[in-house]
């Protein structure tokens, strides 16, 4: 969440920043009114508590002095004030809850360098690799769902029979390819990132910490009986690993990586790009995550982008890097670079990674701080990025590496994880 003190001290700056994201300044004004009312009620409650404490002290003195009538009068006043404080305390807690709820719904302030824009078409293309567009042969222009079905490595029909539409089932080398990609990526990140295998089912406060709740409740899978949530990304548990803790500055940046299944309802996506693996409810992904100081964060962000690009280049997939405009930023993000691969069979650019810098937005929600040498604790910055999300990478690989005879010849870099490089048609 944003810093309420910043909203109090420089409301116009906050209004201007959020307006870049399409947020009505009236929402900031409503937050400030709620904050003022909350502070008024808390102040009155605290003054009342102090008065009750003082009256108790005076009652004790009066009784010691034998002033029973005065003690009785003070006791009556204290009881009456205590009764009124109960109602005031309820009001103060409700007002504080209102402020927190408003803060939870407000998005992050965009970074000054995030490009202006209102929609995806306003995103800025930073670069492509390779610089010159590739020319693809006709046998590469077959969509992956047809290639996968022909080779017996992707079975969308049986996936739907088991779980419903948009739940893929991979078979044989198709399943092994997912495993190979995961091992390949984790090995590439092991030089600097500690591997974690977190739970994929988490508590509500874990989802709140990243900003996935309350705003995106409809896009998540909720196990109502236990009030637990299936994670949409490993970012969720990794962010909360140190929730409520104070880290040592010497340990920062703290870099983590995790391979997990991810679950998303993709609300509103029905009928839009739902063939094959373009949009699925469950997919495997390797995530990069870091806690950092504000000074460290830009370099950590750049390193994550570079790692994603290195993976795509090693897989020899054509890709582009987009600097997301303010209107297309994720709610929690201050700056995001999306990486999209080109899938020749679909003739589409497919997003396979979002590398985001959240500043201290998530850390405030999760109360994660670090102690600088000789100073008071400060909130960390959090960063994360997919490296990579495999469903669409799988699709791009199957289309790009299809040979004229219908078989696949996958990238050499995956050979140690696959045992062989070709899949022959049935």
Quick one: 131 and 60 in the same domain? Answer: no
**Cα separations (Å) of 209 from 236, 239, 362?**
8, 7, 6
- Is 171 a domain residue? yes
Count Cβ atoms within 10 A of the Cβ of residue 69 and give its class: 0-12 exposed, 13-18 middle, 19 or more buried.
Answer: exposed
Q: Which among 105, 130, 155 is the end of a domain? A: 105
2, two tokens? 């944003």
Q: Is the pLDDT of residue 249 over 80?
A: yes
CATH of the domain at 230: 3.30.930.10
**Contact at 8 Å (CB) between 284 and 390?**
yes
Contacts of 179 (CB under 8 A, 6+ apart): 417
Quick one: 151 and 27 in the same domain? Answer: no
CA 343 to CA 356: how far, in whole Å? Answer: 24
pLDDT score, position 56: 87
- Is 111 a domain residue? no
Query: Given pLDDT bands bounded at 50, 70 and 90, which one contains residue 421?
Result: low
Quick one: 358 and 261 in the same domain? Answer: yes
Radius of gyration of the chain (CA): 27
- Is 114 a domain residue? no
Q: Is the pLDDT of residue 356 over 70?
A: yes
- Is 110 a domain residue? no
**Contact at 8 Å (CB) between 292 and 192?**
no
CA 40 to CA 61: how far, in whole Å? Answer: 32
**Cα separations (Å) of 219 from 207, 230, 247, 266?**
12, 11, 32, 6
**Contact at 8 Å (CB) between 126 and 337?**
yes
- Is 290 a domain residue? yes
Quick one: 417 and 309 in the same domain? Answer: yes
Q: Which among 105, 132, 155 is the end of a domain? A: 105
33-35-39-42 Cα dihedral, nearest 10 degrees: 110
Contacts of 108 (CB under 8 A, 6+ apart): 2, 211, 329, 331, 332, 333, 334, 358, 359, 361
Quick one: 229 and 271 in the same domain? Answer: yes
Q: Is the pLDDT of residue 425 over 90?
A: no
Quick one: 88 and 128 in the same domain? Answer: no
**Contact at 8 Å (CB) between 334 and 114?**
yes
pLDDT score, position 268: 47
Task: Give the pTM.
Answer: 0.93
**Contact at 8 Å (CB) between 262 and 286?**
no
227, two tokens? 């009030």
How do residues 123-180 score in pLDDT, each as one tens digit? 999 999 999 999 999 999 999 999 999 999 999 999 999 999 999 999 999 999 999 9
Q: Which among 105, 136, 164 is the end of a domain? A: 105
Quick one: 410 and 374 in the same domain? Answer: yes
CATH of the domain at 33: 1.10.287.40
How do residues 225-238 score in pLDDT, each as one tens digit? 999 999 999 999 99
DSSP labels, 74-86? HHHHHHHHHHHHH
- The average pLDDT across 85-91 equals 92
194 forms beta bridges with: 256
Quick one: 169 and 95 in the same domain? Answer: no
Quick one: 355 and 395 in the same domain? Answer: yes
290 forms beta bridges with: 255, 383
Nearest Cα neighbor of 41 from 97, 79, 1 is 97
Count of residues making up the chain: 426
**Contact at 8 Å (CB) between 1 and 103?**
yes
Query: Given pLDDT bands bounded at 50, 70 and 90, which one contains residue 84?
Result: confident
Q: Which domain does 244 fall in, by range?
A: 120-423
- Is 145 a domain residue? yes
- Is 113 a domain residue? no
Quick one: 260 and 173 in the same domain? Answer: yes
60, two tokens? 């004790």
Beta strands in 194-334 (DSSP E): 194-196, 201-203, 221-223, 228-230, 246-248, 254-263, 282-292, 319-323
Q: Is the pLDDT of residue 267 over 60?
A: no
C-beta atoms surrounding 155 within 10 Å: 18
How do residues 296-317 score in pLDDT, each as one tens digit? 999 999 999 999 999 999 999 9
Number of domains forming the structure of the chain: 2
Query: Given pLDDT bands bounded at 50, 70 and 90, which one contains residue 208?
Result: very high
Quick one: 96 and 233 in the same domain? Answer: no
How do residues 21-79 score in pLDDT, each as one tens digit? 999 999 999 999 999 999 999 999 999 999 989 998 998 998 999 999 898 998 888 88
pLDDT score, position 196: 98
pLDDT score, position 83: 86
Q: Is the pLDDT of residue 187 over 90?
A: yes
Nearest Cα neighbor of 219 from 305, 281, 156, 152 is 281
- Is 270 a domain residue? yes
**Contact at 8 Å (CB) between 291 and 238?**
no
Quick one: 204 and 341 in the same domain? Answer: yes
- The average pLDDT across 84-113 equals 95
Count Cβ atoms within 10 A of the Cβ of residue 369 and give its class: 0-12 exposed, 13-18 middle, 19 or more buried.
Answer: buried
How do residues 384-420 score in pLDDT, each as one tens digit? 999 999 999 999 999 999 999 999 999 999 999 998 7
């Amino acid at each position: 969440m944003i810093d309420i003190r910043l909203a109090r001290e420089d409301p116009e700056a906050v209004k201007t920043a959020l307006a870049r994201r399409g947020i009505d300044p009236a929402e900031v004004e409503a937050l400030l009114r709620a904050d003022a009312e909350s502070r008024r009620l808390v102040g009155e409650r605290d003054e009342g508590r102090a008065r009750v404490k003082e009256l108790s002290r005076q009652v004790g003195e009066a009784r010691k002095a034998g002033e029973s009538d005065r003690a009785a009068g003070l006791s009556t006043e204290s009881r009456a004030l205590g009764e009124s404080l109960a109602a005031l305390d309820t009001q103060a807690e409700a007002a504080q809850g209102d402020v927190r709820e408003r803060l939870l719904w407000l998005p992050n302030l965009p970074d000054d360098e995030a490009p202006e824009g209102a929609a995806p078409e306003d995103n800025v293309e930073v670069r492509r690799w390779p610089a010159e567009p590739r020319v693809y042969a006709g046998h590469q222009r077959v969509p992956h769902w047809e290639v996968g079905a022909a080779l017996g490595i992707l079975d969308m029909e049986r996936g739907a029979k088991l779980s419903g539409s948009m739940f893929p089932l991979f078979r044989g080398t198709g399943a092994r390819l997912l495993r190979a990609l995961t091992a390949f990526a984790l090995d590439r990140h092991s030089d600097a990132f500690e591997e974690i295998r977190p739970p994929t089912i988490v508590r509500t406060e874990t989802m709140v910490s990243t900003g996935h709740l309350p705003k995106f409740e409809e896009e998540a899978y909720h196990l109502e009986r236990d009030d637990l949530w299936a994670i949409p990304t490993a970012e969720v548990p990794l962010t909360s690993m140190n929730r409520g803790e104070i880290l040592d500055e010497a340990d920062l940046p703290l870099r983590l990586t995790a391979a997990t299944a991810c679950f998303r309802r993709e609300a509103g996506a029905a009928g839009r790009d739902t063939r094959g693996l373009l949009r699925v409810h469950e997919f495997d992904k390797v995530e990069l995550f870091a806690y950092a100081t504000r000074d460290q964060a830009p370099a950590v962000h750049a390193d994550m982008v570079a790692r994603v690009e290195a993976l795509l280049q090693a897989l020899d997939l054509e890709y582009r890097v987009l600097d997301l405009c303010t209107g297309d930023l994720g709610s929690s993000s201050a700056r995001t670079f999306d990486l999209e691969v080109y899938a020749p069979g679909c003739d589409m650019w497919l997003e396979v990674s979002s590398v985001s810098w959240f500043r201290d937005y998530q850390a405030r929600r999760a109360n994660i701080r670090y102690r600088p040498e000789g100073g008071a604790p400060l909130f960390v910055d959090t960063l994360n990025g997919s490296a990579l999300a495999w469903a669409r990478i799988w699709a791009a690989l199957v289309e790009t590496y299809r040979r004229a005879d219908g078989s696949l010849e996958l990238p050499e870099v995956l050979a140690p994880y696959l045992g062989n490089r070709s899949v022959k048609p049935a």
